[in-house]
Amino acid sequence: MNIGIPKEIKKDEYRVSITPNGAAELIAQGHNVYVQSTAGEGSGFSDKEYIDVGASLLLDVAEIYEIAEIIVKVKEPIESEYHLYKKGQTLFTYLHLAADKKLTLFLLEKKIRAFSYETLLVDGKLPLLEPMSEVAGKMASLMGAVHLGKYQGGSGLLAGGVVGTQRAKVMVLGGGIAGTCAAQVAAGLGADVTIFDINLERLRYLDTVLPANVATMYSSSENIRALLPQTDIVIGTVLIPGAKAPKLITKEMLKLMKKGSVLVDVSIDQGGCFETSHPTTHTEPTFTQEGIVHYCVANMPGAYPRTSTFALTNATLPYVKVLAKYGAQKVCQELPVMRSSLNTYDGTLYNEAVGQAHGIASSNM
C-alpha cells in the first residue's frame, strides 16, 4: 500500500501524522511511505530521519496525493487542499465533521473513504482522541491561568494566589480525559476547582482520585449558573462522540461572571460548548466578549507538537497498520471497531451524529 504523509498547513499547526519510527514500522510491513519534505520539522524530525528509515521524500505535495492510496494526516482537510484529493481515496485523520458541513459535503461528493480518529470507539473509550485530550486538558488550565493576567485582558488574579490572598476558582465542565487533566493541573497550580459531569459513577471515581482542592458537582444548568458569579476560569471539555458539543454557557450567562474571567473552550473542534465561542489560533488565541476573555484555539496540542506527535503516533499507528494491510474495503470486516471510525465511504455518510448535525441522511454498515 502507498501511504502519503503531507505537511500540515492549518495555521499554527506543527504536528506530523507519523514519526520516523512509525514510518519504519509501516515500511517493514511492506508498505511504501511517501513524506512531504519538511513535514516533520515542526515536531523536531528532519527529512534525513525519514530517508534513513526508507521513506520516500517528495517536495511537491501534489505528488503525495497522486501516488498515495491512503492519506494519513493530523488535522482535517482545509479548503485549499480539496483539489488534491482523488476520487475514492482513503483518508485517516481528525475530521470533526459535525462542526464542518462544507467538509462533509466535499468528502461525500469526492467519494472519499474517510476514517476519523475522534470517533473510533473501543470498549466505550476513544483511544485516538484521548492522547490529544490529555494535552489539551493540561494546556487548558495553564492557558486559563496565563490569560487571567492583566496584560492578557484578565482580572489580574494569580491562579494559586500567595499566602494571605485569594486563590482563583476554576470550573471544569466535563469529567472525561481532558476535564480530569484540566482539574489535575488547576489543582496543582493551587486553585480551588469544581469539576462537573452528568455521570455519577464518574464523579465518584473523580472524587477519590483527584486532590482535596477539587470538588465534584452534578452538571445542570442551575448548578453551573449558581457557581458562575464566583468563578474565575471556566474550562469546557464536554464531548459527545462525533456530534456537536452542547452549549453549556450561553451569551446571557456571561453577565453572571466577573469581568476579566476566562473561558477556555477545549470543545471548539466540535463547535464549542460556549455559545459565544468561535475558533481562534495560537497567533491570536483570545477575544473578549461581555468583558470575558475567550480562549478558543482549535488545535491546542499544536502548541506542543513534539509531545503531541509522539503521543498521537503511539495511539494511531496500530490502526494505520491495519488500514494499510486490509484497505478501506475490508478493514471493517477484519477489525470491526473501525466501523465507528468510518465517516464517509464512496458518497455515503456513515456517522449518524454528523448526519443529524447537518440534516444529511446516514446509513449503517
269 catalytic, yes or no? yes
Integer angstrom CA distances of residue 285 from 174, 276, 302, 356: 22, 14, 12, 30
DSSP state letters, 178-236 = HHHHHHHHHHHTT-EEEEEES-HHHHHHHHHHS-TTEEEEE--HHHHHHHGGG-SEEEE
Q: How many helices (H) and strands (E) does the chain have?
A: 10, 15
Q: Look up residue 138 and give its three cell numbers.
A: 493540561
Q: Are 18 and 93 in contact (CB under 8 A)?
A: no
What ranges in the chain are assigned the alpha helix state H? Answer: 20-28, 47-52, 61-67, 101-109, 130-147, 177-188, 200-209, 221-227, 305-334, 352-358
Cβ partners under 8 Å of residue 284, min gap 6: none
| Alpha-carbon Rg for the chain in angstroms | 21
Helix axes 130-147, 177-188, angle to 10 degrees: 40
Of the residues 147, 269, 294, 358, which is catalytic? Answer: 269
* Measured CA distances, 31 to 25, 67, 101, 327 (Å): 9, 13, 33, 12
CA–CA distance, 238 with 284 (Å, rounded to integer): 23
Supply 23's cell numbers: 514510518
Helix (H) or strand (E) run with residue 32 in it: strand 32-36
Q: What 8-state DSSP symbol labels residue 249?
A: B
**Which residue of the set 12, 31, 47, 96 is catalytic?**
96
Could you give the angle at which helices 20-28 and 305-334 cross, rounded to 10 degrees?
A: 30
C-alpha cell at 177: 480525559
Residues taking part in catalysis: 96, 269
